[in-house]
Amino acid sequence: MRNLRLLAALGLVGMAGAAHAADVTDTPVTANVTIVNDYDFRGVTQTDNGPAIQAGLDWAHDSGWYVGTWGSSVDFGPDSRTHAELNLYTGFAGKSAAGLGWDAGVLQYIYPDESDLNFLELYGKLSYGLFGTALHYSNDYAGTDESAFYATGSMSIPLVAPLTLDLHIGYSDGDGILVAFGEDSYMDYSVGFTYSASNFDVGMKWVGTDLEDDGSRVILSLSTALPW
């Protein structure tokens, strides 16, 4: 197993990022800001179970092409030289007349002052109604020189307005996972609620993995998207 700093250094646009970019609206430029009590990526904390502030900026064209950037504070321990993660991404998104949504793109992870962790990832997503699925692939996962993929399934169920139930399950596999975690593969999961009021979303989710010695926890978030 590589050191714990690498295990933590696997950030993503999980809370914001490409998910926002896929929504093409009448406003071509949008921004988002989020505060969380723990930044998790695929079930693994990026902030040593501490808080993080995150922000993103997206531009979307009527054709479905989008470009964006997203960043978060991180805490990879006293041996790490960086305390920030930056994501740059671009792709195409759209929806068929039958209601099938799709999104495909490329995402670059950047860790200032710790470039050995930088890596590139390809992703594809499909959505229909309440359901969503995605597949991510990298041929150099978190600088391990090994490949890995991540598959997800999700469901967002409207409850009593404005409350939503959010379900997620993910599966990570590949030689890059073995190098980073000392496990052939692992699963992560979450069950949460989102409450939307005015221009803000308040989230609470229970997150866990089946990694050895990795416990589940509750993550709280407060986010907003601009312009209001």
CATH of the domain at 219: 2.40.160.40
- Mean pLDDT, rounded, of the chain: 90
pLDDT in tens, 49-99: 999 999 999 999 999 999 999 999 999 999 889 999 999 999 999 999 999
In the predicted structure, residue 209 carries a pLDDT above the cut 80: yes
Q: Which two tokens stand for residue 154?
A: 């999700």
Report yes or no: 155 and 167 within 8 Å, Cβ to Cβ.
yes
Distance between the two ends of the chain, CA-based, in angstroms?
Answer: 45
Q: Which domain holds residue 91?
A: 4-226
The Cα–Cα gap between 9 and 4 comes to 9
Beta strands of the chain (E only): which ranges? Answer: 29-36, 40-41, 44-45, 52-60, 65-73, 84-95, 100-110, 119-128, 131-138, 148-158, 163-173, 185-197, 200-209, 217-226
Q: Which two tokens stand for residue 127?
A: 């959505």
Q: Which two tokens stand for residue 99?
A: 């209601």
The Cα–Cα gap between 32 and 225 comes to 4
Q: Which two tokens stand for residue 137?
A: 């692939």
pLDDT in tens, 156-175: 999 998 999 999 999 999 99
pLDDT reported for residue 183:
94
pLDDT in tens, 95-149: 999 999 999 999 999 999 999 999 999 999 999 999 999 999 999 999 999 999 9
pLDDT reported for residue 215:
83
pLDDT in tens, 190-201: 999 999 999 999
Query: Of 198, 147, 149, which Cα lies nearest the Cα of 175?
Result: 147
The Cα–Cα gap between 198 and 179 comes to 45
pTM of this structure: 0.89
Report yes or no: 35 and 221 within 8 Å, Cβ to Cβ.
yes
- Number of structural domains in the chain: 1
Q: Which two tokens stand for residue 151?
A: 């598959």
